[in-house]
Amino acid sequence: MSGELSNRDSEHRAYHHGDLREALLEQAIASVNAVGSEHLSLRAVAAAVGVSPSAAYHHFADKDELLTAVKARGFDQLDACISVKINGNFVENPDVDQVKRLMQAGALAYINFAVDNPHWFSIMFSGVKERQKPPYMESSMEYLKNIFTLNRGITIEDHALTEDVLLASVHGIAALVVEGRMDRDRVPAAIEILSTLMMGPDETGPQS
C-alpha cells in the first residue's frame, strides 16, 4: 500500500505543473525523432516520463493510438511552419513574381521541417490516405491556380491534380535531402528551378 502511494505521489510531483497526456506525446515525438518509431512503446515512453504504464494507458490505449497522435501533431507543426513563412511573404493582390516567392517560401519551410525531423516526417505519411487541407493552402493555392490557368494553360478541372504535382515535387526534394542524395545547401536552387518550371522565369529578371 505504501509503495502504491509512493508511486502516485511521485507521478503527482512530476506532473503537478502540466498535462500528462501532453508530456507523453512530447516524449514520444522526441523518441521518434531520435531513433524512429520501430522501437517505440507506450511503456518505454511512460518510463522516460517517469510515470507508471497504467498512468499512460489512461491517455493512450496502445502504441498505435500514440503514433496517431504523434502524426497529427506533426502535421499541425508542419502547417504552422509553412503558415509562418507564407504569412511573412504575403501581400494583397500579389503579382506573378510575388506568388512565386510565396510558393518558394512554403516549399522551403516544408523541406526544412522534413530534414530537421526525418523520422517524424517519415511516419507522418505512413498509412495516410487523406487529410483536411490546411488553411494556408486554401488561400495561397488560389493565386497559384489563377496563374497556372492564365500563364500555363492548366484547366480549372486539373487544379486539384496541379496541387498534387506541386506537393509531390516538394516532397521529393525533401526525400532526396533526407536520404543524402542532395546536399541541403542545394535546396534553394532546387526550389528556384521547380518554381520556374511551374510558373516561368521572373518577369523582373534578365531579358534575353
CA 149 vs CA 26, 98, 99, 144, 204: distances in Å: 43, 17, 14, 8, 21
Specify the pLDDT at position 198: 80
pLDDT score, position 129: 55
**For residue 25, what pLDDT is reported?**
96
Instruction: Provide the angle, in degrees to the nearest 10, between the axes of the packed helices 135-151 and 63-88.
Output: 50
Scanning 89-186, the segments in alpha helix (DSSP H) are 96-116, 118-124, 135-151, 159-178
pTM for this one?
0.79
* Cβ atoms of residues 147 and 96 within 8 Å: yes
Report the pLDDT value the prediction gives residue 18, as an integer from 0 to 100. Answer: 53
3-state secondary structure of 73: helix
pLDDT for position 110: 94
DSSP state of 157: G
| Domains in the chain, CATH or no CATH each | 2-61 (1.10.10), 71-199 (1.10.357.10)
| HSE value, Cβ hemisphere, 13 Å, CA-based, for 5 | 2
| Eight-state DSSP code of residue 62 | S
Q: What is the pLDDT along the chain (208 residues), one digit of tens a residue?
A: 444 444 444 444 445 445 899 999 999 999 999 888 888 899 999 999 999 999 999 999 999 999 999 999 999 999 899 888 888 777 777 777 888 888 899 999 999 999 999 999 999 988 765 566 666 666 666 667 666 666 666 766 777 787 888 889 999 999 999 999 999 999 999 999 998 888 776 655 444 3
Residue 185 per-residue DSSP state = G
Got the DSSP string for 21-36? Answer: HHHHHHHHHHHHHHH-
